Each structure stands twice: as C-alpha cells, then as structure tokens.
C-alpha cells in the first residue's frame, strides 16, 4: 500500500474553525491511477497537500509506503517528500531563466546523487517526455503543453513511488491536455502510482477509479 489514511481531519483556525478535511480515510495501492473530483472548496487540494507532506492533519493517521508520518521531524518530512513524491502543478512552477534540462535536474541536485549522473538522468527524462530537442530552451520558449511535459519529467527525476498531480491539464488546450493525459497513462502503465485532482470528467474516466469529495469528506 503506497497511501493509507485513516480519519484525517484538517481544521483551519478561522472564525468558524473551517474543516477542510473531515474524517477522510483512503487506501491507494501500488500502480493505481486515481482521480479526485469535487466542487471548489471541497478539500481536494488540502488532501493532496497532506499526501505530499506539505501540511499536517489535526487528527488522523497517514502512512506513506507503510511508514507512519505523524512523528516525522521537519527534516525527515523534507527528505521523505524529496525522495518519494513527485509533484505536478497546474501552473507548472518552472524556473523561467533555467533551461529545460536544468529545470528537470533541479530536484536531484538536493540529493546525494553523484554529480556525473545528474544531467544524463535529466536528458533521459527529457527524451522520455518527447523534449529531447528542447533541452536548451527556456520555459518562455515553450508552449503550455511542453512546459507541463517538463514538469512531468522533473517530477520523475528522483524516481518517486508516488506522483501527485494538481489539475495538470487545467491550463492547457484540448490537444495538450490529451497529450499530458497520455503521458500520465504511459507512466502508470509502467508501474507509477498517480493521484490526480481534476475537474474534467472525461480525464477522470480514463483513470482506474474516481474519488469524489464534498464538504471535506469522501462521498
């Protein structure tokens, strides 16, 4: 089991103590491709932040690859996140002055990977996402779909066990959206576990199962 959550609760200290997550329990097996759907404000992004160790629940348990996360120190959480989780964001989050190759390689520079292995791995991933001819370009010279391909390659560079994708096709046209979905499906067919937040029912229907959320709960 890659992801195992039990009764996750996240409360934001507002005037009404807003419950962004209200008793969420979830199991994701190795190799699954799962989409998360629901109206704005239902807790999708909060759940993704919890699974990505970017935030902590007020209550409940979360096990990542069988390891409990509740008592992890900040350093351990950072290391676990860096080594086990790849993130793909709607807004790409690329460094505009870095080349495609440098953007892909960026996460691995914070690991113990030998320097001689960094750029070859980044080149391999650039080729895997169809951008071998663009490795010296900057994000400003790429289309939106190409930028998202760079983001996908960057998410894979540390060989994570889990990919978290937050609306990865949200800023793309229909053709680029299909290309990114095909890429994610290909990664999944090769064994990658993927959890994807999406508003697009057609994209969600391409995944193994759909988790629907409402008012901080799985429904």
Q: How far is CA 38 from CA 86, 143, 184, in A?
A: 23, 28, 21
Query: Rounded to whole angstroms, how far apart are CA atoms 163 and 183?
Result: 13
CB 103 within 8 A of CB 92: no
Q: Hunting for tokens 């066990």 — which residue is that?
A: 161
> Token pair for residue 120?
């070859």
Q: Residue 22: what pLDDT? A: 96
How many contiguous H segments (helices) and E segments (strands) does the chain have? 7, 10
Question: Residue 14: pLDDT above 90?
Answer: no
- Model pLDDT for residues 48-104, shown as the tens digit of each residue: 999 999 999 999 999 999 999 999 999 999 999 999 999 999 889 999 999 999 999
Query: Rounded to whole angstroms, how far apart are CA atoms 11 and 22?
Result: 8
Pairing of β 217-218 and β 209-214 = antiparallel
Average pLDDT score over the chain:
94
**The domain defined by 32-42+71-218 carries CATH number 3.40.50.2300:** no
Q: Residue 19: what pLDDT? A: 92
> Token pair for residue 149?
């391909």
Question: Residue 218: pLDDT above 90?
Answer: yes
Q: Residue 203: what pLDDT? A: 94
> Token pair for residue 14?
């507002």
- 10 sits in the region (left: phi over 0; alpha: psi -120 to 50; else beta) called beta
Q: Where are the alpha helices (DSSP H) in 36-192?
A: 44-51, 74-84, 100-105, 115-128, 144-156, 174-189
Tell me the HSE value of 6 on the side-chain side, using a 13 A CA sphere.
6
Query: Rounded to whole angstroms, how far apart are CA atoms 166 and 148?
Result: 12
Q: Helix, strand or coil for residue 13?
A: coil
- The pTM (predicted TM-score) of the whole model is 0.94
Residue 109: pLDDT band (50, 70, 90) is: confident
Residue 122: pLDDT band (50, 70, 90) is: very high
DSSP secondary structure letter of residue 198: -
For every residue of 41-60, DSSP letters joined together read: TSSHHHHHHHHTTSS--SEE
The pLDDT of 144-162, averaged and rounded, is 94
């Amino acid at each position: 089991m890659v992801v195992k959550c039990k009764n996750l609760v996240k409360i934001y200290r507002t005037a009404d103590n807003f419950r962004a997550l209200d008793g969420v329990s979830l199991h994701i097996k190795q190799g699954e491709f799962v989409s998360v759907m629901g109206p704005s404000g239902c807790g999708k992004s909060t759940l993704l932040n919890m699974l990505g160790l970017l935030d902590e629940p007020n209550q409940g348990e979360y096990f990542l690859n069988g390891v409990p996360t509740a008592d992890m120190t900040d350093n351990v959480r950072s290391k676990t996140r860096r080594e086990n989780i790849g993130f793909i964001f709607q807004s790409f989050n690329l460094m505009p002055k870095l080349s495609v190759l440098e953007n892909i390689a960026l996460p691995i520079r914070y690991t113990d990977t030998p320097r001689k292995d960094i750029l070859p791995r980044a080149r391999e991933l650039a080729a895997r996402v169809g951008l071998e001819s663009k490795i010296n370009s900057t994000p400003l010279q790429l289309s939106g779909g190409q930028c998202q391909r760079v983001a996908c390659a960057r998410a894979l560079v540390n060989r994570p066990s889990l990919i978290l994708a937050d609306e990865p096709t949200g800023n793309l046209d229909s053709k680029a959206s299909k290309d990114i979905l095909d890429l994610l499906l290909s990664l999944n067919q090769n064994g990658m576990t993927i959890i994807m937040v999406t508003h697009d029912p057609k994209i969600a229907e391409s995944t193994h199962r759909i988790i629907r959320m409402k008012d901080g709960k799985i429904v």
